[in-house]
Amino acid sequence: MTSNSESLRTTSKRVTEKKARERIKELKGKAERGETDWLFHAGFTSFYDSLDHFDENHGWSEQTRIRYQTSLRQIGLTLIDVFEERGEDIELAGAWEVDLKTVTEFVAMRKDQGVSVATINRDFTAFNHLMSHIRNLEWIEMNPVLQFEKQGMKENLPDIALPTEAAIQKLGQRAPGTLAFFPGFLDATGGRVTELSMIKWSDLNGMDRPVEGNVTLTLRHTKGRKVRTITLRQQAIDILTQIRRSNRSPYVFCNKTEDGFYRSAANLFGDYAQETGFGARLHDIRHKFAIERLKEGWSVYCVQRYIGHGSVKTTERYYFRYLSQEQQEVANADGNVGL
């Protein structure tokens, strides 16, 4: 398992396997030190570790144990994506938060990746044993994989709460310093909280002529550290021109801490949202951006690339339910419409 900024996704299967193994080793250390009791990834790493050796209780052969570990690494990678789409960090998730809805979304994500039903079923066997292990630890009351198998492969995506422009403005007004511009910038770019809170002025190109089509932003702190560059809309450029640059910090959304940026922006805005009656999560601004661009006529392919979804099918699955049939046809018609 890993945090949002350290996703193990990569184009190289060999590199993915290596990073997954390294991350699991790191988390084993945390679990052994008692730093992660009751958290899902503590149960994950303890079960993964148990497969290194033969156990008379289950009697699995070495070949079976290796196969289960291979499945577990893929399960971990996919669950990172599931939690990321919620705007949450799986390393902070309690074991009980990997519930029926999570398992359902796991299956949908695997399908988005073009994985066969046979492979999903094979991974499900390891997933079932993992959650049984966690249940035996008495961290959960029911095994969600078994619940899923009883109900069948039907998906039930949660509704997305779309914040209003007025609510976003009010939320920004509550925030201190440069963070006051952050909600509006999220609304103008559709970025993730973690990747935008760490952008630097040096990541921007073309601000000498601040007009749409000329200014780009390179996002470096993304999932899997897969750098992507987006062309900024005028709304985002106008926000940047209002932010005063700091002499002591290179970050756009800077502060006077040792880090120089707001490391816990999501947590801060969680409090501000309650105070201002925001009625949504900060992450929902990202969803708002995607839905509005699709309704505006952007192709689903451009939206997928712009917001950084791993698969265009994920973009379709999350957002096409908010579009009319005509809007869906427009979104699917041309892969080049949009910035």
The confidence score (pLDDT) of residue 89 equals 82
The confidence score (pLDDT) of residue 157 equals 72
The confidence score (pLDDT) of residue 190 equals 95
Residues 300, 317: Cα–Cα separation, whole Å: 11
Q: Is there a contact between 87 and 266 (Cβ–Cβ < 8 Å)?
A: yes
The confidence score (pLDDT) of residue 334 equals 76
The confidence score (pLDDT) of residue 10 equals 39
- Provide the 10 A C-beta neighbour count for residue 151: 11
Residues 315, 180: Cα–Cα separation, whole Å: 29
For the chain, which ranges sit under pLDDT 50?
1-13, 33, 35
Domain residue limits, the chain: 4-151, 165-333
Rg of the chain, C-alpha, whole Å: 21
Residues 140, 286: Cα–Cα separation, whole Å: 32
The confidence score (pLDDT) of residue 41 equals 86
Residues 162, 274: Cα–Cα separation, whole Å: 16
Which pair of structure tokens corresponds to residue 119? 């492979």
Per residue in 43-96, pLDDT tens?
A: 999 999 999 998 887 789 999 999 999 999 999 989 988 888 887 888 888 999
The confidence score (pLDDT) of residue 221 equals 85
The confidence score (pLDDT) of residue 11 equals 40
Per residue in 151-172, pLDDT tens?
A: 765 666 777 889 999 999 999 9
The domain defined by 165-333 folds into hpI Integrase; Chain A (1.10.443)
What is the edge-to-edge ordering of all strands in the sheet holding 216-219?
204-205, 216-219, 228-231
The confidence score (pLDDT) of residue 70 equals 93
Residues 168, 213: Cα–Cα separation, whole Å: 25
